[in-house]
Structure 1
Amino acid sequence: MQVDVHVVNSLIDGEAGGNPAGVVIDADALTANQKLEVARRVRLSETAFVSKSDVATIKLEFFTPTRQIAHCGHATIAAFSLLRQLGKVSDGALTKETIDGCRNVLVDGKAVLMEQRSPTYRSIEAGSDLAQRVARSIGLQPTLIFATATPTVVNTGNRFLLIALPDSQSVADVRPDHRAIEAVSDELDLIGYYLFSTATMLPGRHAGTRMFAPRFGIDEESATGTAAGPLACFLYEHMGIENKEIIIEQGQLMQPKSPSVINVLLDIDGGKISRLMVGGEAVVARTMSIEI
């Protein structure tokens, strides 16, 4: 069987960079094992599979090269951007069905925004064995990972461990121990680590980041919408950033660079975040065919 895969650069910064995702449309006939094999062969961090849905605009399933995951931000943006370009969806309020329920999606010209849930937080206790292991997994002293803010697991649909560092050079200099990160991620049921500082390459943005998810076969990723949402919530509710629109840079500090920008819109109700929409723009890069 031949499967056509569109490679879409998602969450681009201007017309460049972004995080490539595979997108397979009309995937109804593929089994879960076939989808996993396609994702393994595509060798991108995530591949999205589009099928018909009885309860939403489309059904979306996401596979890394090693397993299925419930949600993927940049692959959602990639899929809806491609479908809009092909004339299969139009601008406006849409929905996606996932293995974890339905979520709202907004297509507004070139931009696609996806809904995430209100956040939950779990702080890492200073001086704990876990804090020691987290620090060792990124080659830093425990005092440094607590110097700016307390490391915190934030969940808006997927769990990420957010670690604030004092400046962009500190983020850039991190040399991750992927095996150790994977062990902590297994223990805490994380997608991965999201390291950040509030220093950015361009003014008017709120954080510069790096993301490591070896548990899902991703050493480092250049744009992560499902992590940007939790970070925006953390910046607003725990670090005193009062903007309801948060702009996050990713991919600037990795090697090689692939600059990305992620926009997060926060809905505030009674002083708390009730909902958020996360996204940006994407561009189709190429199409490949895979025999399975």
Structure 2
Amino acid sequence: MEYIVDVFTHKTKGGNKAGVILSKEEILISECQKIATRLNLSETVFVKKIDSSIFNLNFFTPKCEIEFCGHASLAAFYMLKKLKMIGEGKYIARLKFRDLSVIVEKNKIFLEQDDIVLSGVIDKNSIVESLGLKNDELDKTIDIVIAYSGLRDILIPVR
């Protein structure tokens, strides 16, 4: 079953779209990649039920598999609830690198996430250059950092 879900919105439009694929069988990685490429969303999550409270989640962009995506995880549990495959309660999202707790309430879904870990960037010049920025466009009072909470992001302070 294939769905597109608008996450972080109370309306049917807007928010952050994620593809959700619910499957009873394992899907080959190559097939997951084809589906994610066809959907052409920032992330598509592939969900397989392990037991009544554990769901395996795998994430793909149109280009590659990634470790984790928060909004796609929320989309997955939203669809499971909407389709009455789960009710209110505690669940586990099984990722490749760890299990995350998920709490489903009547009108809310909570997803456990790691604390954010910040680390420095070794070569600031290559990052600035790759974005076509000039050094004087950066805010010099804040460092460029890599933030990790399941997926790495580079935070670049610009003026």
TM-score (norm 1): 0.50
Which residue of structure 2 aligns with residue 61 of structure 1? 58
**Percent of counterpart pairs with the same letter?**
28
Deviations 1:30-63 (A, max 9, x none): 2222111111222212111111225952111111
* CA distance 1:56–1:158, shift in 2 (3 Å): farther
Runs of 4+ in 1 over 6 A off after TM superposition: none
Which residue of structure 1 aligns with residue 134 of structure 2? 141
1:271-282 equivalence runs, <5 A: none
Which residue of structure 2 aligns with residue 174 of structure 1? none
Q: SS of the counterpart of 2:42?
A: coil
How many residues of Structure 1 are paired with residues of Structure 2 in the alignment? 158
Deviations 1:163-194 (A, max 9, x none): 2234xxxxxxxxxxxxxxxxxxxxxxxxxxxx
Q: Does 1:132 align with 2:129?
A: no
1:25-64 equivalence runs, <5 A: 25-53=22-50, 57-64=54-61
Q: SS of the counterpart of 1:116?
A: coil
Which residue of structure 2 aligns with residue 86 of structure 1? 83
CA apart distance, 1:78:
0.8
Check whether the contact 2:53–2:90 (CA below 8 A) recurs between aligned residues.
Answer: no
CA RMSD between the two structures = 2.1
Q: Distance in 1 between matches of 2:158 and 2:117?
A: 21
Deviations 1:123-174 (A, max 9, x none): 236xxxx2122222223222432434111111112111112234xxxxxxxx
Higher relative contact order (CA 8 A, sep 6+): 1
Question: For 2:99, which of 94, 99, 102 is the aligned residue?
Answer: 102
CA apart distance, 1:108:
2.7
Which residue of structure 1 aligns with residue 145 of structure 2? 152
Q: SS of the counterpart of 1:33?
A: helix
Q: Distance in 2 between matches of 1:56 and 1:37?
A: 28
Check whether the contact 1:57–1:95 (CA below 8 A) recurs between aligned residues.
Answer: yes
Q: Does 1:10 align with 2:7?
A: yes
Which residue of structure 2 aligns with residue 123 of structure 1? 120
CA apart distance, 1:86:
0.9
| More displaced stretch, 50-59 vs 25-34 | 50-59
Q: Distance in 2 between matches of 1:60 and 1:45?
A: 16
TM-score (norm 2): 0.87
| More displaced stretch, 27-36 vs 51-60 | 51-60
Which residue of structure 2 aligns with residue 163 of structure 1? 156
